[in-house]
């Protein structure tokens, strides 16, 4: 069949290179991958052409604010797989792609070397090379143009030795690489995107507390009391302080202690039942303080290296001003009453969900986005979003894209304990971090399987897990045992398996473990429905242990990434062993956890020393950063023993011995 002029774009039929199998690429380029400032982007692709010509491939990228592209040559691996990398340096969005072409100069030089080695006559070949170099001179800048024209003349007319020396000169190769002919180059058919977040998106430790429980002698706490609590949070080593909703709480159907359906006159209600006569999502509960107090808290926290995270819960109490001003944003039942929130058999009569199928949905979207912007104006850049999976996906993509365009340093944590595909979709739509199933993963093999999914598949490119051993809604069966080693191991697992983690305190460090009733994951006397007073100075508190773990995290870059997590063989199913390395390989951390909270467990762990940059035939140091003990190890297999009554966890830094061996 004849190809009519115009049927193909000019030159398309001569574009011989194929580019496919690009990674990372999320859903055929529909969604961006994620990085933080200073993090590398490693791109691979299958790149090949018909025949035997040599190829050149370039990885190209630019920040969305720039028009010109940067680029670097990709390196061939095996089986037509190529790789290149670059580092992102600005917040916001980047675009990246691949350009590849048949390279006549590379092909000519490669074949010339083979002909010379075979002692063939290469006169014609040198003249062909001169033509290729002369063509490149037409594309070159003035200084390089003269050098290329001189090389072309030498290839044509010099003595044999000079002609060959010119052909194989590294300088000629470097100059030619600057001026390729791209007339028939293939550009990957999609421009792929990267969202670049601040470093705390990759590495953070969250501490959740209820401001109303920071008072004394039963007094309702205030935001000023939270300021007084900041030194305690800083001492524990947390860098994000997360507050449940701080807005006015509805009075209609206000819940009582332990989720009583109707609370008494003294009931303080659930902070998630947002809205009252005093205001809604842009107001502060009067008993907590004022907007000035919010700004003072944010400033005081930043002085201590702590970011304040605010809860965003898009729902309304029956008393919220939205019910009067915009009843069309809510769904009515056949009897004319508003539809309250339900998750059968659970009922939440104190909360009305928004109707995202409302005819007035554009106005609803605008208003909800304005809630974020209001609190951003108060200085808050970190948000934990309540149940985002019960709101429209399209709304989140629209809102987050707009917000991040104006405030690229935003961090948004998705609290969506739901089906995996839904959780992953929310991350693709723009959520910076995400809650996970970690709280319910207890066993060795299920932990390995889950972490492999999160860190060794494409999920790692867009889903940043945040591991929480407990929340105000989640008191797991394991924690209900009340065993101190259980709390210690869960903290260590959360803090070292994931670079982002958090705890709900002071319930965690004080090992609160009594459920509301058997079979429930609700706390007895939950802070969600009443004020609690905590004795932070209790002798059995885990505060020192938590502070030590957080210090280890801060001092060891290996624990600030998830991309290098590797599990290792250990001949005891009660012991879990894994390593992390810093991206440059200079910092190696081995964690061994005794998953049996009652009995001493021992075993031999196997380490791939060469991959870790450790000597295979010489001793190396295993420094336990929790206990301070130092062990001299040698070889791939080494012995560990953990008594949970003493310390159920090793967090060891593995180091090359610079001096003579040291012992514990």
Catalytic residues: 386, 415
Q: Which residues of 138-153 are buried (b: 16+ CB within 10 A; e: fewer)?
A: eebeeebbeebbebbe
Q: d(Cα 101, Cα 128) in Å, to the nearest integer? A: 19
Q: Residue 281, Cβ neighbours under 10 Å: how many?
A: 24
Check whether the bond before 620 is cis (ω within 30° of 0): no
DSSP, collapsed to helix, strand or coil, labels residue 202 as coil
Residue of 639, 650, 647 whose CA lies nearest to 578: 650
- Specify burial of residue 619 (Cβ count, 10 A radius: 0-12, 13-18, 19+): middle
Check whether the bond before 345 is cis (ω within 30° of 0): yes
Rounded to the nearest 10 degrees, the angle between the axes of helix 123-137 and helix 104-117 is: 160
Angle at CA of residue 596, ends 518 and 493, nearest 5°? 90
Residue of 227, 207, 357 whose CA lies nearest to 303: 227
Q: d(Cα 321, Cα 316) in Å, to the nearest integer? A: 9
Q: d(Cα 551, Cα 422) in Å, to the nearest integer? A: 34
Q: d(Cα 560, Cα 36) in Å, to the nearest integer? A: 12
Q: How far is CA 634 from CA 14, 567, 580, 589, 607, in A?
A: 58, 19, 19, 16, 10
């Amino acid at each position: 069949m004849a190809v009519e002029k115009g049927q193909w774009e000019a030159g398309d039929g001569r574009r011989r290179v194929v580019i496919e199998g690009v990674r990372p690429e999320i859903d055929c380029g529909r969604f961006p991958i994620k990085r933080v400032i200073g993090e590398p982007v490693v791109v691979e692709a299958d790149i090949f052409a018909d025949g035997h010509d040599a190829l050149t491939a370039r990885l190209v990228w630019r920040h969305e604010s720039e028009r010109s592209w940067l680029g670097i040559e990709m390196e061939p691996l095996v089986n037509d797989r190529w790789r290149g990398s670059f580092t992102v340096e600005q917040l916001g969005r980047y675009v990246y792609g691949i350009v590849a072409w048949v390279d006549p100069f590379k092909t000519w030089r490669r074949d010339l070397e083979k002909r010379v080695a075979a002692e063939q006559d290469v006169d014609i070949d040198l003249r062909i090379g001169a033509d290729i170099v002369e063509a490149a001179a037409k594309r070159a800048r003035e200084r390089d143009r003269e050098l290329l024209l001189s090389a072309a003349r030498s290839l044509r007319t010099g003595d044999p030795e000079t002609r060959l020396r010119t052909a194989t000169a590294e300088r000629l190769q470097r100059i030619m690489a600057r001026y390729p002919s791209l007339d028939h180059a293939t550009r990957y058919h999609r421009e792929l995107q990267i969202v670049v977040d601040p470093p705390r998106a990759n590495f953070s430790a969250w501490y959740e507390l209820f401001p109303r429980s920071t008072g004394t002698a039963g007094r309702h706490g205030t935001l000023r009391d939270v300021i007084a609590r900041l030194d305690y949070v800083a001492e524990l080593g947390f860098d994000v302080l997360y507050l449940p909703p701080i807005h006015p709480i509805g009075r209609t159907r206000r819940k009582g202690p332990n989720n009583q359906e109707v609370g008494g006159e003294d009931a303080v209600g659930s902070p998630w039942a947002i809205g009252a006569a005093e205001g809604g999502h842009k107001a502060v509960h009067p008993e907590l303080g004022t907007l000035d107090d919010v700004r003072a808290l944010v400033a005081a926290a930043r002085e201590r290296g702590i970011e304040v995270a605010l809860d965003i819960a898009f729902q309304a109490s029956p008393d919220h001003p939205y019910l009067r001003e915009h009843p069309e944003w809510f769904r009515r039942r056949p009897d004319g009453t508003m539809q309250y929130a339900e998750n059968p058999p659970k009922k939440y009569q104190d909360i009305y969900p928004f109707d995202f199928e409302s005819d007035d949905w554009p106005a609803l979207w605008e208003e909800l986005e304005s809630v974020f912007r209001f609190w951003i104006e108060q200085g808050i850049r970190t948000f934990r979003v309540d149940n985002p999976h019960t709101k429209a996906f399209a709304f989140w993509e629209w809102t987050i894209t707009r917000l991040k365009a104006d405030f690229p340093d935003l961090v948004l944590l998705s609290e969506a304990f739901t089906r995996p595909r839904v959780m992953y979709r929310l991350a693709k739509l723009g959520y910076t971090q995400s809650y996970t199933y970690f709280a319910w993963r207890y066993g060795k093999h299920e932990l390995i399987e889950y972490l492999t999914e999160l860190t060794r598949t494409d999920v790692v490119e867009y889903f940043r897990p945040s591991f929480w051993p407990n929340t105000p809604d989640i008191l797991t069966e394991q924690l209900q045992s009340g065993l101190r080693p259980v709390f210690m191991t869960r903290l260590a697992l959360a803090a070292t398996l994931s670079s982002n983690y958090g705890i709900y305190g002071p319930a965690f460090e004080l090992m609160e473990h009594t459920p509301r009733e058997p079979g429930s994951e609700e706390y007895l006397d939950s802070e969600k429905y009443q004020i609690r007073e905590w004795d932070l100075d209790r002798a059995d508190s885990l505060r020192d242990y938590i502070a030590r773990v957080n210090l280890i995290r801060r001092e060891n870059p290996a624990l600030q990434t998830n991309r290098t997590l590797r599990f290792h063989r250990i001949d005891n199913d009660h012991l879990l062993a894994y390593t992390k390395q810093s991206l440059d390989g200079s910092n190696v951390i081995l964690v061994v956890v005794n998953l049996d909270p009652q009995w001493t467990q021992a075993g031999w762990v196997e380490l791939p020393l060469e991959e870790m940059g450790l000597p295979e035939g010489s001793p190396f140091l295993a420094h336990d950063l929790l206990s301070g003990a130092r062990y001299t190890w040698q070889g791939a297999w080494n012995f560990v023993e953990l008594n949970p009554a003493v310390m159920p966890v090793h967090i060891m830094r593995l180091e090359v011995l610079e001096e003579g061996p040291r012992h514990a």
